[in-house]
Amino acid sequence: MATVIGKDGHLISTIEHLLSAVYAYGIDNLRVIVDGDEVPVMDGSSASYCILLDEAQVVQQDVPKKVMRIKKEVIVQEGEKYVKLSPSPDLQYDFTIKFPHPAIKTQEYVLKFTKETYKKEISRARTFGFLHEVQYLRSKGLALGGSLENAIVLDEKKILNPEGLRYPDEFVRHKILDAIGDMCSYRDELYRKL
């Protein structure tokens, strides 16, 4: 329920929102200091990280950048779920999600990726979870900071957040946000496999 990285026995979790924003800004050399074992979830999206990166400003460095080029189609499948990477001259994310929940159902979204489209169309999409999952996680001492202020929470029938959604298809947009961050966290492993 979160992306975790580690080295020498030290683990940091919930990195996907930060890394998603970092990727959108084209940053590939950054030091992040975290006081704890989890990156702050902020409001459940990557918008706060975008604001911080805008304030800090990106500095160009005189070092070659590693770029991953997809030369052949790659598919990873588990049951009915799959992820496919395909060669393309333009970076584009085409997502479909299906949940048996009346507030989500089937949602589709295509993002033609640029920093600006990311900020406008994706960065504000919040993470989401189901009330029964939150209750279970809390019983295990996890998700203790989770609330209606930093996640969309759904019961069996509806969204519990009084303000509703930021986008009508916020769920699929957040899955794109997560996927971008996850691709960053697995980048070195992908370089070795492709």
Write out pLDDT tens, residues 7-20: 899 888 889 999 99
Please provide the average confidence, as pLDDT, over all residues in the chain. Answer: 89
Mapping DSSP to helix (H, G, I), strand (E, B) and coil, where does residue 104 land?
coil
Structure tokens at 116: 């600006």
Q: What percent of the chain has pLDDT over 90?
A: 61
**Amino acid identity, residue 94?**
D
pLDDT score, position 186: 64
pLDDT score, position 37: 87
pLDDT score, position 183: 84
Q: Which stretch of 39-43, 55-59, 185-189 has the lowest confidence by average pLDDT?
A: 185-189
Say if residue 152's pLDDT is above 70. Answer: yes
Q: How far apart are the first and last CA of the chain?
A: 26
- The set of long-range contacts for 142-148, using a CB threshold of 8 Å and a minimum separation of 24, is 143/1, 145/41, 146/41
Q: Which stretch of 109-123, 141-155, 177-191 has the lowest confidence by average pLDDT?
A: 177-191
pLDDT-derived band at 144 (thresholds 50, 70, 90) equals: low
Say if residue 113's pLDDT is above 80. Answer: yes
Instruction: Give the position of tokens 């979870």.
Output: 129
104-128 as b/e: b if 16+ CB within 10 A? beebebebebebeebbebbbbbbbb
The larger pLDDT score, comparing residue 177 to residue 192, is at: 177
Instruction: List pLDDT tens digits, range 69-93.
Output: 889 998 999 999 998 989 998 999 9
For 152, counting Cβ atoms within 10 Å of its Cβ (0-12 exposed, 13-18 middle, 19+ buried), the class is buried
Instruction: List pLDDT tens digits, range 28-43.
Output: 889 999 998 889 999 9
pLDDT score, position 191: 47
Structure tokens at 87: 């060669």
Q: Which CATH number fits domain 4-193: 3.40.50.10860, 3.40.640.10, 3.40.50.300, 3.30.1700.10?
A: 3.30.1700.10
CA 131-133-136 angle, 5° bins: 110
How many Cα atoms within 13 Å fall on the side-chain side of residue 112?
A: 2
Say if residue 48's pLDDT is above 70. Answer: yes
pLDDT score, position 53: 97
pLDDT score, position 147: 80
pLDDT score, position 135: 75
pLDDT score, position 5: 85
